[in-house]
């Protein structure tokens, strides 16, 4: 969602904050703004570059707060951009989240004479602090009292001209991290803008506020109790979040696929024992041996990874699995118990709907496990156990390398749970062997990216696309369509190939192409029949097929070949050319693939 960044210390705050906003831009780019107590506030519609153009050369100070907005309440206008201020322009606020009771608070404040300048929910917070200050409280106490009056989701930073070196941060449902430096401290939505300055960080929990000064910090419960928590070191370097010579983060992240798989597997494959070593599951190992059911919860790409995991876990671990959208799960009354594992998949570890699913699972006694990429994230902290992806930061809004890592982690989990049950030595050895070969096989696909780019250019004028797959590649059809929709704005639909005759086939004509995921697996012949049905209606077909399959050329000449692997790992190889195809097609149309319109990287509100 939105991104917040705050600084107090000895550096020039304006330069520091603007630089940090650039690294946070994947969280939103509808508008941007900055406030320094010595110089005031400046806001602009659009990305950080638009804000930088408005900054005067003498915009200097040693503390401040800044914001990137992904619009929720109010259109993306300058009036609605953060930071928001009170009537006196002394109190300023940046906020990620939604204040649910903002309308009633606004009515009360207006009755007391407060004048509002925006349509946003956030502005009420500045006026609440102003009101508490007018009642005689100091800034820290006024901020705490104001926080106690709001309901909803927030990651927040608040500053007052009266105490310019002091910044108050708070968290309820939206991520907030402190960066602890030498004579300087930071508050941010995630570690990315902090890493150039310090790797020592401390994550706030829900219901906590922090008060930072250049040489100190304090953490409290909103009720007033002091919180003692050790800081931790983040092992990402600032360079990891840079493009590394690629034109877009998305392409860089696709090309990192082989290394991501290696990192996800590193130290986890026990070749001699035929086991997966998952240290994050050791504490619940005995409980997992007794589970009778798994529910996987995710949103977007993570949901499709979960669907692949369903096939893996049922076929190779022998456990019944259901896969649920996090956005729907929280509105049901799911039947859970102590023999249910609730598995949450989230790249950011902050996805609001998925987080609420975990909390529902814990209330009902389920064992909660996470597959997340972000160390110290809320889902990582609130689950009973988990598996880190180790994929490194993913900046492109359209998830690519995180999905590859998630499916790899699901394969490891399948091996772990399967060996607790009836998976044979030979099956385990085959899975381990094929997992270890995946990096070089993905690299082989990436080495063919020029041919995929040419294929994408051929179809770049398409208005529609159908993606079809079966069995393990059924979810990948939906993921491929999602990638095309996200970054090229082409109407694309995923479809189980067996469902074509139940409706989707009606759309097919010579101007409606199909991407057919057709590896040489147990359902290849059925998929080939589906391709024939499309070709009989003059529909163009692009096929993803296994190397050495010349039969596919009798149906279409537009073929992207991928190496052979075992069926359960095929989705990892199938999805990579679909990611490249979507990237090159969107790039051919001139779109900014890293910043698809109307979308943000981390969805931390409903």
Which of 404, 439, 474 corresponds to the end of one domain?
A: 439
Q: What is the pLDDT of residues 441-457, one digit of tens each?
A: 999 999 999 999 999 99
| DSSP 8-state assignment for residue 492 | E
Q: What is the pLDDT of residues 49-65, one digit of tens each?
A: 999 999 999 999 999 99
Compute φ and ψ for 553, nearest 5 degrees.
Answer: -70, -15
Burial of 150 (0-12, 13-18, 19+ CB in 10 A): buried
Average per-residue pLDDT in the chain?
A: 93
The pLDDT value recorded for residue 606 is 56
> Is 598 within a domain?
no
CA–chain centroid gap for 81, Å, is 23
pLDDT over 70 (residue 286)? yes
pLDDT over 60 (residue 605)? no
Q: Interior CA angle at 533 toward 532 and 535, to 5°?
A: 60
Compute φ and ψ for 213, nearest 5 degrees.
Answer: -130, 170
Can you read off the two tokens belonging to residue 289?
């041996």
> Is 401 within a domain?
yes
Which of 241, 270, 299 corresponds to the end of one domain?
A: 241
Same-domain status, 173 and 268: no
Angle, helices 401-420 vs 425-446, to 10°: value is 170
Same-domain status, 366 and 397: yes
Same-domain status, 401 and 256: yes
CATH code at position 35: 3.60.20.10
Q: Interior CA angle at 531 toward 529 and 532, to 5°?
A: 65
Can you read off the two tokens belonging to residue 203?
């994550």
This prediction has a pTM of 0.77
Same-domain status, 327 and 470: no
CA–chain centroid gap for 346, Å, is 6
Given a contact cutoff of 8 angstroms between Cβ atoms, the answer to whether 508 and 515 are in contact is no
Torsion sign over Cα 484, 487, 491, 494: positive
CATH code at position 386: 3.40.50.10490
Find all residues with CB under 8 Å of 381, minimum gap 6, and list them: 203, 205
- Under the banding of pLDDT at 50, 70 and 90, the label for residue 41 is very high
Q: Which residue among 449, 483, 485, 601 is the active-site one?
A: 601
Strands (E), 27-117: 31-36, 40-45, 63-69, 84-85, 91-99
Spatial separation of the C-alpha atoms in residues 279 and 268, rounded to whole Å: 8
Please, which residues bridge with residue 493 across strands?
466
Given a contact cutoff of 8 angstroms between Cβ atoms, the answer to whether 14 and 34 are in contact is yes
Is 299 an annotated catalytic residue? no
Same-domain status, 363 and 459: no
Helix (H), strand (E) counts: the chain: 18, 26
> Is 314 within a domain?
yes
Is 2 an annotated catalytic residue? yes
pLDDT over 80 (residue 602)? no
Find all residues with CB under 8 Å of 313, minimum gap 6, and list them: 294, 319, 321, 410, 413, 414, 417
Q: Which residue among 2, 449, 483, 485 is the active-site one?
A: 2
Q: What is the pLDDT of residues 298-331, one digit of tens each?
A: 999 999 999 999 999 999 999 999 999 998 987 8
Nearest to 259 by CA among 374, 390, 431: 390
The pLDDT value recorded for residue 267 is 87
Same-domain status, 302 and 231: no
Does the bond joining 83 to the residue before it have cis omega, within 30 degrees of 0? yes
Count of domains forming the chain = 3
Query: What is the number of alpha carbons within 13 Å of residue 240 lying toward its C-beta?
Result: 16
**Structural domain that includes position 496:** 449-588
Nearest to 383 by CA among 406, 408, 357: 357
Q: What is the pLDDT of residues 553-573, one digit of tens each?
A: 999 999 999 999 999 999 999
> Is 286 within a domain?
yes
The pLDDT value recorded for residue 63 is 98
Same-domain status, 94 and 33: yes
> Is 444 within a domain?
no
Q: How far apart are the first and last CA of the chain?
A: 10
pLDDT over 70 (residue 220)? yes
Same-domain status, 500 and 403: no
Q: What is the pLDDT of residues 492-545, one digit of tens each?
A: 999 999 888 898 888 899 899 999 999 999 999 999 999 999 998 999 999 999
> Is 61 within a domain?
yes
Spatial separation of the C-alpha atoms in residues 596 and 431, rounded to whole Å: 37
Which of 439, 460, 475 corresponds to the end of one domain?
A: 439
Given a contact cutoff of 8 angstroms between Cβ atoms, the answer to whether 92 and 126 are in contact is yes
Same-domain status, 10 and 62: yes
Same-domain status, 272 and 386: yes
Task: Rounding to the nearest 10 degrees, give the CA dihedral for residues 125, 141, 350, 344.
Answer: -120
Same-domain status, 466 and 521: yes
Spatial separation of the C-alpha atoms in residues 442 and 392, rounded to whole Å: 18
Compute φ and ψ for 319, nearest 5 degrees.
Answer: -115, 130
Spatial separation of the C-alpha atoms in residues 84 and 81, rounded to whole Å: 7
The secondary structure of 312-356, three-state, reads HHHHHHCCCEEEEEHHHHCCCCCCCCCCEEEEEEECCCCCHHHHH
Nearest to 542 by CA among 457, 455, 454: 455
Nearest to 150 by CA among 201, 203, 104: 104
Task: Rounding to the nearest 10 degrees, give the CA dihedral for residues 552, 557, 558, 561.
Answer: 40
Spatial separation of the C-alpha atoms in residues 554 and 359, rounded to whole Å: 52
> Is 604 within a domain?
no
The pLDDT value recorded for residue 87 is 97
Edge-to-edge strand list for the sheet holding 321-325:
321-325, 293-298, 340-346, 367-372, 385-388
> Is 376 within a domain?
yes
Nearest to 81 by CA among 16, 151, 30, 8: 30
Spatial separation of the C-alpha atoms in residues 55 and 476, rounded to whole Å: 45
Mean pLDDT of 404-424: 97
Spatial separation of the C-alpha atoms in residues 34 and 588, rounded to whole Å: 35
The pLDDT value recorded for residue 603 is 60
Query: What is the number of alpha carbons within 13 Å of residue 390 lying toward its C-beta?
Result: 17
Same-domain status, 275 and 419: yes
């Amino acid at each position: 969602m939105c991104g917040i960044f705050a600084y107090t210390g000895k550096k020039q705050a304006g330069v520091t904050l603007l630089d940090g906003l650039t690294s946070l831009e994947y969280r939103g780019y509808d508008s941007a703004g900055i406030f320094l107590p010595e110089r005031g506030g400046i806001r602009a519609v659009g990305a950080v570059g638009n804000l930088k153009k408005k900054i005067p050369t003498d915009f200097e100070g040693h503390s401040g707060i800044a914001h990137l907005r992904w619009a929720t309440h109010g259109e993306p206008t300058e009036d609605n951009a953060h930071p928001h201020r009170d009537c006196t322009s002394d109190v300023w606020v940046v906020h990620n989240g939604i204040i649910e009771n903002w309308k009633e608070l606004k009515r009360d404040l207006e009755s007391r004479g407060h004048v509002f300048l925006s349509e946003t929910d956030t502005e009420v917070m500045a006026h609440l602090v102003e009101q508490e200050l007018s009642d005689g409280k100091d800034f820290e106490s006024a901020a705490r009292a104001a926080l106690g009056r709001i309901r909803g989701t927030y990651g927040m930073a608040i500053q007052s001209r009266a105490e310019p070196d002091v910044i108050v941060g708070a968290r309820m449902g939206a991520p907030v991290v402190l960066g602890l430096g030498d004579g300087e401290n930071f508050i941010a939505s995630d570690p990315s803008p902090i890493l150039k300055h310090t790797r020592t960080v401390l994550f706030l929990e829900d219901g906590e506020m922090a008060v930072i000064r250049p040489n100190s910090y304090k953490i409290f419960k909103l009720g007033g109790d002091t919180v003692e928590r050790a800081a931790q070191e983040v092992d990402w370097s600032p360079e990891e979040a840079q493009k590394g010579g690629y034109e877009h983060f998305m392409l860089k992240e696709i090309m990192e696929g082989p290394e991501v798989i290696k990192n996800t597997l590193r130290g986890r494959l026990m070749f001699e024992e035929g086991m997966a070593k998952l240290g994050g599951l050791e504490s619940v190992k005995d409980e997992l041996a007794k589970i009778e059911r798994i529910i996987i919860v995710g949103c977007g790409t993570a949901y499709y990874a979960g669907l692949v995991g369903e096939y893996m876990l049922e076929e190779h671990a022998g456990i019944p699995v259901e896969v649920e959208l996090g956005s729907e799960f929280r509105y049901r009354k799911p039947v859970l118990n102590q023999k249910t594992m609730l598995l949450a998949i989230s790249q950011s570890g902050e996805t609001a709907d998925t987080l609420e699913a975990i909390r529902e699972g814990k209330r009902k006694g389920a064992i909660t496990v996470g597959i997340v990429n972000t160390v110290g994230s809320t889902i990582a902290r609130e689950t009973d156990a988990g598996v880190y992806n180790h994929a490194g930061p993913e900046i492109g809004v359209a998830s690519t390398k995180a999905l590859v890592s998630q499916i790899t982690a699901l394969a490891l989990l399948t091996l772990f749970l399967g060996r607790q049950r009836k998976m044979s030595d030979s099956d385990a050895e085959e899975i381990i062997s094929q997992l270890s070969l995946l990096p070089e096989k993905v690299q082989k696909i990436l080495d063919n990216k020029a041919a995929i780019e040419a294929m994408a250019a051929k179809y770049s004028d398409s208005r529609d696309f159908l993606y079809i797959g079966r069995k393990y590649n059924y979810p990948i059809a939906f993921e491929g369509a999602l990638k095309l929709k996200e970054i090229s704005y082409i109407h694309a639909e995923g479809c189980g190939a067996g469902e074509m005759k139940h409706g989707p086939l009606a759309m097919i004509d010579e101007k409606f192409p199909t991407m057919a995921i057709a590896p040489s697996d147990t359902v290849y012949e059925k998929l080939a029949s589906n391709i024939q049905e499309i070709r009989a209606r003059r529909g163009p077909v692009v096929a993803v097929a296994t190397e050495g399959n010349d039969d596919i050329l009798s149906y279409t000449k537009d073929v992207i070949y991928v190496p052979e692997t075992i069926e359960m790992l095929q989705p990892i190889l199938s999805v990579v050319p679909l990611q490249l195809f979507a990237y090159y097609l969107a790039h051919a149309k001139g779109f900014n693939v890293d910043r698809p319109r109307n979308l943000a990287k981390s969805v931390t509100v409903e």
